[in-house]
Amino acid sequence: MLRSLLFLSLLASAWAAENPDWTTPLEPFQIADNLYYVGSRDLASYLVTTSEGNILINANLESSPPLIRASVEKLGFRWNEIKIFLNSQAHFDHVAGAAQVLRETGAQDLVMAEDAEVMRSGGKSDFAAGSDGILTYPPAPVNRELHDGEVVKLGDMALTAHKTAGHTRGCTTWTWPTTVRGQKRNVVLVGGLMYLPQYRLVDRPGQPASYPGIADDFRRTFAEMPGYPCDIFLGAHGMYFDMLAKLQRVPAEGQRVWIDPDGYQKLLEKSKRAFEAELSRQASQPAAAPVRDWQPSPGQKPHERVSDLFGGRISLYIDLPDNHLIVVDQVNRTRTIIDVPRPEHAKLTEAYLRAVEHAKIVTAEEKDEGFTLTLGKVELVFTVIRKDNRSWVVIHFARLQPPGPKTFFAVPQVWEETDPEAARLVEIKHYFEQLWVKAGL
């Protein structure tokens, strides 16, 4: 357990290292009369002040709460004055710090219903959990589940929660009226608009959509959002609304730089075009044959070395014309179809061979304590073993969870523990996730 916690922590750190603007502090600033920015150079967090306490929107990374708290206090507000916590979406880069914020402030956590269980599970129940960039985080309690169009009130402020699903099932865009130097303005805070590369938008036999109705959710989002009244355009990431560039203009132009309804509409149109292009691309791809219907061609034989190593239990067919790898479990009478580009065939084939060969070492030698890591539906068992005064880390079993008609036995990595273990785990985690995405798991 200690190793797995260390691994997840290091993995999140690795993501932050790849995105320095996620963790680099930014001087907090005022956007409107009762609205302040308290996030980093890209991960946005907002403080809405009211007559009966304050509202915080987004807690960002697990490491972000101290940065956010410092910004809140630098503006002259107290941390414990936060009474309500809201979020834009339940991905780790926006809510991983929520548990700490809630614990320290005692605030109530209000979450769009479709993202509520994701928050409670610390991201484990996300439909894309375990795929590239979708990390888990400390679970956070949810005090109230919200629904599309519901209004959150505190003191003299009222914020409307709009379910703009697709990026997550409960992705939330917030709108509310405010004032800038006493003049009424409408705020739109965009939660998220883009599909991720691993999302399946088209539902077809053997290749289901990432979740039922994901394409319709995106369509509904792009149909409704242009109608939201917008003067002040904000987002869950600073890059959504060109925050850093606009900050450079503040000394000359003042708070009016945040008034950008045209920028809001341009972002919607750009995101909609990208979605439609990806939907068209996925729809034009030939459908994979359903796993249960696949049969080897006349005379087609399984990979001999794989069959020998598995004692005939597992057969691997390389179906080159259809660009598939097919794994057949002869004992359980199950099949797994993997749709990958041809250059990946050799890599995945070698993965099976290496997995089985080194699994024999695991069963023959004394094992150190290992741990299990769940990546979405895939479970990996890491084991450290010793042989001839050498130390090895072996991933010797993986399967779809819960156990069902598909069982995935391939394990594409074994390494000698000459480098720090945690660093290697971070490296292999990314490698695994890419394979799972390509394999459609």
Domain that holds residue 367: 291-439
Does a structural domain hold residue 3? no
One domain, residues 230 and 360: no
Boundary-marking domain end, from 250, 266, 284: 284
Please indicate, yes or no, whether the overall pTM of this predicted structure exceeds 0.75: no
One domain, residues 274 and 350: no
CA distance 126 to 45: 22
Tokens standing for 369? 């304590």
* Strand ranges across the sheet with 172-180: 151-154, 157-163, 172-180, 183-190, 232-235
Residue 416 has a pLDDT of 37
Residue 131 has a pLDDT of 67
CA distance 105 to 228: 31
Residue 184 has a pLDDT of 97
One domain, residues 145 and 176: yes
One domain, residues 348 and 205: no
H/E element holding 414? Answer: strand 414-416
Residue 326 has a pLDDT of 58
Q: Residue 95: what residue type?
A: V
Does a structural domain hold residue 370? yes
Does a structural domain hold residue 113? yes
One domain, residues 314 and 264: no
- Look at strands 157-163 and 151-154 and give their pairing: antiparallel
Per-residue pLDDT of the chain (441 residues; tens, 9 = 90+): 233 333 333 334 444 445 788 999 999 999 999 999 999 999 999 999 999 999 999 999 999 999 999 999 999 999 999 999 999 999 999 999 999 999 999 999 999 999 999 999 999 889 887 666 788 899 999 999 999 999 999 999 999 999 999 999 999 999 999 999 999 999 999 999 998 877 889 987 757 888 999 999 999 999 999 999 999 999 999 999 999 999 999 999 999 999 999 999 999 999 999 999 999 988 887 665 444 455 667 777 765 655 554 455 556 565 555 545 555 555 445 555 544 444 444 444 444 444 444 444 444 344 444 444 444 444 444 444 444 554 444 443 344 333 333 333 333 333 333 333 333 443 444 444 444 344 433
One domain, residues 265 and 297: no
One domain, residues 344 and 427: yes
Boundary-marking domain end, from 226, 254, 284: 284
Boundary-marking domain end, from 266, 284, 302: 284
- Look at strands 324-329 and 151-154 and give their pairing: unpaired
Residue 204 has a pLDDT of 79
Residue 308 has a pLDDT of 54
CB 81 within 8 A of CB 187: no
CA distance 43 to 23: 8
DSSP assignment, residue 51? B
End-to-end CA, the chain: 25
Residue 306 half-sphere exposure toward CB, CA atoms < 13 A: 24
One domain, residues 309 and 434: yes
One domain, residues 359 and 416: yes
Return the bridge partners of 29, or none: 37
Tokens standing for 365? 């030698």
Does a structural domain hold residue 14? no
CB 384 within 8 A of CB 393: yes
Q: Residue 48: what residue type?
A: V
Does a structural domain hold residue 8? no
Does a structural domain hold residue 13? no
Does a structural domain hold residue 145? yes
Residue 203 has a pLDDT of 87
Does a structural domain hold residue 1? no
| DSSP per position, 270-333 | HHHHHHHHHHHHHHHSPPPPPGGG--PPTT----HHHHHHTTTSEEEEEEGGGTEEEEEETTTT
Burial class (CB in 10 A: 0-12, 13-18, 19+), 143: middle
One domain, residues 241 and 317: no
- CATH code, domain carrying 278: 3.60.15.10
One domain, residues 208 and 340: no
Mapping DSSP onto H, E and C, the string for 129-181 reads: CCCCCCCCCCCCCCCEEECCCCEEEECCEEEEEEECCCCCCCCEEEEEEEEEC
One domain, residues 248 and 321: no
How many domains would you assign to the chain?
2
Region label for 286, one of left (φ > 0), alpha (ψ between -120 and 50) or beta (otherwise)? beta
CA distance 234 to 240: 7
